[in-house]
Amino acid sequence: MKNIGRTARLLTLSAAALAAASAGAAPSPTAVELAQQGKDLGWWIVEDLTTEIGPRQAATEAEAAARVWAVRRLNEMGFQNVREEKFTMPTWVRGDEQASLVGPFHPQKLAVTALGNSASTGPKGIEGEVVYFASFDALQAAPDTMVKGKIVFIDHQMAPTQDGSGYGTYGRGRFTGPNVAAKKGAMAIVIRSIGTDDHRNPHTGVTNFDAGVKPIPAAALSNPDADQLVRQWERAQAMRPAGGHGGDPETLRMKLLLTPRNLGQQTSGNVIAEVPGSDPAASPIIIACHLDSWDLGTGAIDDAAGCGIITAAAKYVMMAGQPRRTIRILWAGAEEVGVFGGKAYFDAHGKEKHAVALESDFGADRVWRIDFKLPDSAKQLADRLSAAVAPFGVVRGRQPANGGADIGALVAAGVPAIDLAQDGTRYFDLHHTPDDTLDKIDPVQLRQNVMVWTAVLAILANSSDAELP
Amino acid sequence: MKNIGRTARLLTLSAAALAAASAGAAPSPTAVELAQQGKDLGWWIVEDLTTEIGPRQAATEAEAAARVWAVRRLNEMGFQNVREEKFTMPTWVRGDEQASLVGPFHPQKLAVTALGNSASTGPKGIEGEVVYFASFDALQAAPDTMVKGKIVFIDHQMAPTQDGSGYGTYGRGRFTGPNVAAKKGAMAIVIRSIGTDDHRNPHTGVTNFDAGVKPIPAAALSNPDADQLVRQWERAQAMRPAGGHGGDPETLRMKLLLTPRNLGQQTSGNVIAEVPGSDPAASPIIIACHLDSWDLGTGAIDDAAGCGIITAAAKYVMMAGQPRRTIRILWAGAEEVGVFGGKAYFDAHGKEKHAVALESDFGADRVWRIDFKLPDSAKQLADRLSAAVAPFGVVRGRQPANGGADIGALVAAGVPAIDLAQDGTRYFDLHHTPDDTLDKIDPVQLRQNVMVWTAVLAILANSSDAELP
């Protein structure tokens, strides 16, 4: 609750700004005016989901409970065609997890968490020599002999960025570091959490091994624990005699216990709801978030917030009067563990026409930029949208929109996209940790998201077929 | 590392300020000048202890390893009469700890940690109805029938304060809440952590049961988990029919597993070192910190920092030339679990003469206030000390000095005291949590502590017998 109020100013809009934000929308009261009055719908959805369900890992009983909750709430809010669309997927679940540095210094426990798809160490755990790599690239460049039979550690220097771009660069240590280490014959791998905070809550997340590569135990340490490992590594290196080798008493050694399990194919599902448009021939707008979360926190910023934002905005547009186009809301299942919900949606609906796709899956801090990937026919539409969001402090970007994970297959297949890019400065402090909880959401910034989305959806849902075919 | 640099300005002192800070000290280079040059001795002690030993709970093997480390390091630094003074004490150690809210909503795990001296739930754990109290006072006022057989929850509204005064007010929930709940017949108690952060790292700390009161399981939830419990409690209350009672399906229920053990009498110890004074007849100055820590973090702010600060300052005074009075350094054992080290020191040395006592045990953020409890003969000395610390941004307080835990018995017996009060605004974000690690220490503020202590010690160690008998 420490960051509240930074954008409060942006929510007290003048009548002129409101008019700009509502341009092209329905008659008075506009959707944006309704959003400004209806302060708490986005918050209410996030609070309700995180309080009554909490963590909801894909294809577990908790995610199933979240779908039941979702169908009930979406119906209660007055959306139409509310339904589950189930699918099956390979399912991995966490077990016990413990790590310690056991030599050459006094034994110390480390805060550790398994990465999704990690192998098990078995119930007795393993012990091995630690080998340090300053980066994923350094591991990739290392000869197999340096890694074989050891516990690999990958360090990095990720720092916060507003656009979240550090995730791609430094995230490789998690995405593919374990695969590279396994191919080189490592006993196990621990990485510095792909995160920017300084709390002893490690960041989980999925990793993937190539077909034919035998998975190894793979885990993340919190940043303070990674710092401790690095300090001990440096001290141990300084103690080693010249020409020292593995097995020296000065070697840094780790014990690791991880007992995750693979449950085989289990059931997950998407939840879909609609605001039906007045023109059945008009192609619909698809807006997405994901309902599943990692198991460590309650998935408030990732991604209850996204579901709260897009759904509140759709509700305000609906309240302002029936839009011309249908707005389809996708609360995707199983995003975290491999975007299975997005793929299932594409398999079921990819051949249907979609006017434009948008996604909210980067926390609850304010929208600061709008990006477009639209057909040439939509140039004026993009100008109108940019003007409508400017009063909320949102600037127009210079790069094409990316889309997002759950609409990724649609966008790759040519569906136009708009990004309402959120401020990610705090995001990787919390992402995939136990600290992803409701208290981290700034209600003022969450409201700014809802208002920006409302302004954008109101315009898009009433756009012409000439603009968005 | 987010708070670095706030006091950097205070460390670039002018020559005139240095002269003020060094008033009454040895000839050039003064201790303060040496402290200003020797930037990193305080940091080095903290880094070394937290890296090579880490957590060091009282009367465990880790605290014994810390004493061995301490004796070696204090000798290496050139202190005299370095020695362990052992004692025995009743010893409690943590076991497994798990908590979940299991109804009326979807089951969710909570981040929980046992309080020192908690009873065990047994290996199968317990399950019970939660009863909410907004404060310790509300629990104390409640009839036994409201509590009997239930799991008590104590909430509070602690906020950060610079002088740490919230700890006394809100800390009662931990210090004596379990005792009160046990006397009223509670099955167990969980409290909102006595802390001001919003991370899922609960704050441990000792609790005590009166003689004749049977201990119950007692634990702390992190602030976000306490928030979650409160939200579920409020929703469950709203669902209950009028006149509802325990056993309703709408009752908020918790599962709790805590398996701590009492190990009986175990060995702890103090470590003592001295800077011998030139006048054997002059009474010594005693300066204290504590070497033990809680087990969850590495005890960086609590209290490796205190040991680093006082010891670096004593070293700089020693380097500037032999002082008139002996400076005795007490690295106390077993402070966290009941000030056993401070009591053992008093039992062994309480009848010796001590000129004045000072303690550093409130983190590593800057000294902001100096308080005195001195004899009338020391009025001018207090003025000189106040003038010497003013260049470091330290103001003179209006209240008498308190002393501190490990010098508490000495001060109660009449030994004069000086407090170099540290800024506690961040302290209860970290206190007794896994997050008490080296990265939380701002090296600039740590240096300010060392310089203030050096300025004060240099004056005190050369004060006259007329001032401090």
A44 CB burial (10 A radius; 0-12, 13-18, 19+): middle
Rounded to an integer, the average pLDDT of A127-146 is 98
Q: Which of B199, B235, B439 sits opposite A51 (nearest CB)?
A: B235
What's residue B33's pLDDT? 87
Residue A285 has pLDDT above 70, yes or no: yes
CA-CA distances (angstroms) from residue A409 to A164, A283, A347, A405? 21, 18, 9, 8
Residue B5 has pLDDT above 80, yes or no: no
Residue A316 has pLDDT above 60, yes or no: yes
Q: What confidence category does residue B247 fall into, taking pLDDT thresholds of 50, 70 and 90?
A: low
CA-CA distances (angstroms) from residue A65 to A84, A131, A264, B242, B396? 12, 43, 20, 28, 60
Residue B462 near chain A (CB below 8 Å) = no
CA distance A142 to chain B (A): 28
Range of the structural domain that residue B80 is part of: 8-91+264-461
Please report residues of A whose CB lies closer than 8 A to that of B434. Answer: 111, 200
CB contact under 8 A, B201 and A198: no
CB contact under 8 A, A198 and B1: yes
User: Which residues share a beta bridge with B371?
Assistant: B419
Rounded to an integer, the average pLDDT of A392-409 is 97
CB contact under 8 A, A65 and B106: yes
Q: Which of residues 54-73 of B touch A (CB under 8 A)?
A: 54-55, 62, 65
CB contact under 8 A, A200 and B437: yes
How big is the A-B interface in CB pairs under 8 Å?
Answer: 95
At residue B309's C-alpha, the angle toward residues B305 and B311, to 5°, is 115
What's residue A40's pLDDT? 87
Residues B331 and B447 both lie in one domain:
yes
Mutation site for A-interface testing, chosen from B96, B200, B293 by largest number of A Cβ within 10 Å:
B200
Helix crossing, B41-52 with B61-76: angle to 10°?
150
Residues 6+ apart with CB under 8 A from B284: B274, B277, B325, B326, B327, B328, B352, B353, B354, B355
In a domain, B466, yes or no: no
What's residue A4's pLDDT? 42
CB contact under 8 A, A437 and B235: no
Residue A36 has pLDDT above 90, yes or no: no
Residues A301 and A449 both lie in one domain:
yes
What's residue A258's pLDDT? 98
What's residue A310's pLDDT? 98
For A332-389, how does the pLDDT look when each residue is reduced to its tens digit (9 = 90+)? 999 999 999 999 999 999 999 999 999 999 999 999 999 999 999 999 999 999 999 9
Residue B246 has pLDDT above 70, yes or no: no
Alpha-carbon distance of B461 to B327, in angstroms, equals: 7
Residues A46 and A105 both lie in one domain:
no
CB contact under 8 A, B199 and A199: yes
Rounded to an integer, the average pLDDT of A394-405 is 96
Rounded to an integer, the average pLDDT of A286-290 is 98
| Mean residue pLDDT across chain A | 94
Tally Cβ neighbours within 10 Å of residue A426.
20
What's residue B34's pLDDT? 87
* A13, two tokens: 């809009």
ipTM field: 0.92
What's residue B136's pLDDT? 98
- CA-wise closest residue to B267 among B341, B331, B347: B341
Residues A357 and A255 both lie in one domain:
no
In a domain, B419, yes or no: yes
For B203-220, how does the pLDDT look when each residue is reduced to its tens digit (9 = 90+)? 999 999 999 999 999 999
Residue A289 has pLDDT above 90, yes or no: yes
Please report residues of B whose CB lies closer than 8 A to that of A199. Answer: 199, 201, 435
Alpha-carbon distance of A306 to A302, in angstroms, equals: 7
Residue of A nearest to B229 (CA): A51
Q: Which of B65, B105, B435 sits opposite A106 (nearest CB)?
A: B65
Rounded to an integer, the average pLDDT of B79-83 is 98
Question: A235, A259, A283: which is the final residue of a domain?
Answer: A259
Cis peptide before A303 (omega within 30 of 0): yes
CB contact under 8 A, B106 and A201: no
Helix (H) or strand (E) segment spanning residue B113: strand B112-114
Residues A140 and A279 both lie in one domain:
no
Residue B157 near chain A (CB below 8 Å) = no
For B165-178, how does the pLDDT look when each residue is reduced to its tens digit (9 = 90+)? 999 999 999 999 99
Report the CATH number at residue A132: 3.50.30.30
Q: Which of B47, B232, B435 sits opposite A51 (nearest CB)?
A: B232
Residue B96 has pLDDT above 80, yes or no: yes
The sign of the torsion formed by the CA atoms of B14, B17, B19, B25 equals negative
Residue A25 has pLDDT above 70, yes or no: no
Cis peptide before A104 (omega within 30 of 0): yes
Residue B234 near chain A (CB below 8 Å) = no
Residues B79 and B128 both lie in one domain:
no
In a domain, A357, yes or no: yes
Helix crossing, B41-52 with B305-319: angle to 10°?
140
Please report residues of A whose CB lies closer than 8 A to that of B437. Answer: 200, 224, 227-228
Residues B84 and B100 both lie in one domain:
no
Residue of A nearest to B108 (CA): A54
* Out of A174-183, A447-456, B31-40, least confident range: B31-40
Report the CATH number at residue B313: 3.40.630.10
Alpha-carbon distance of A450 to A45, in angstroms, equals: 12
Q: Which of A106, A228, A434 sits opposite B200 (nearest CB)?
A: A434
Higher model confidence: residue B191 or residue A239? B191
Please report residues of A whose CB lies closer than 8 A to that of B224. Answer: 435, 437-439
Residue B437 near chain A (CB below 8 Å) = yes
Residues A255 and A269 both lie in one domain:
no
Mutation site for A-interface testing, chosen from B53, B67, B106, B158 by largest number of A Cβ within 10 Å:
B106
Q: Which of residues 177-216 of B touch A (CB under 8 A)?
A: 198-201
Residues A219 and A301 both lie in one domain:
no
In a domain, B212, yes or no: yes
What's residue B280's pLDDT? 94
Mutation site for B-interface testing, chosen from A51, A96, A442 by largest number of B Cβ within 10 Å:
A51
Residue A250 near chain B (CB below 8 Å) = no
Residue A245 near chain B (CB below 8 Å) = no
What's residue B14's pLDDT? 54
Residues A142 and A236 both lie in one domain:
yes
Q: What is the dihedral of CA B175, B178, B181, B187, to 10 degrees?
A: 170
Residue A352 near chain B (CB below 8 Å) = no
* A165, two tokens: 């771009």
**Strand ranges in B253-366 using DSSP code E only, listed in sequence order:** 253-258, 261-275, 285-290, 327-332, 356-359
Mutation site for B-interface testing, chosen from A53, A109, A197, A200 by largest number of B Cβ within 10 Å:
A200
In a domain, A217, yes or no: yes
Residues B170 and B38 both lie in one domain:
no
Number of domains in chain A: 2
CA distance B182 to chain A (A): 30
Question: B206, B233, B259: which is the final residue of a domain?
Answer: B259
In a domain, A332, yes or no: yes
Residue B19 has pLDDT above 80, yes or no: no
B364 CB burial (10 A radius; 0-12, 13-18, 19+): buried
Phi, psi of B8 (to 5 degrees): -55, -40
Please report residues of B whose CB lies closer than 8 A to that of A55. Answer: 108-109
Q: What confidence category does residue B252 fall into, taking pLDDT thresholds of 50, 70 and 90?
A: very high
Q: What confidence category does residue A28 fall into, taking pLDDT thresholds of 50, 70 and 90?
A: low
In a domain, B3, yes or no: no
Q: Which of B54, B105, B439 sits opposite A227 (nearest CB)?
A: B439
Residues 6+ apart with CB under 8 A from A300: A46, A50, A364, A436, A437, A438, A440, A441
Q: Which of A105, A434, A439 sits opposite B111 (nearest CB)?
A: A434
Residues A221 and A144 both lie in one domain:
yes
Provide the CB-side half-sphere exposure for B94 (13 A, CA): 19
In a domain, B436, yes or no: yes
Question: A226, A259, A292: which is the final residue of a domain?
Answer: A259
Helix crossing, A61-76 with A41-52: angle to 10°?
150
**Percentage of chain A lying above the pLDDT 90 cut:** 89
Residue bearing tokens 């002018």? B14
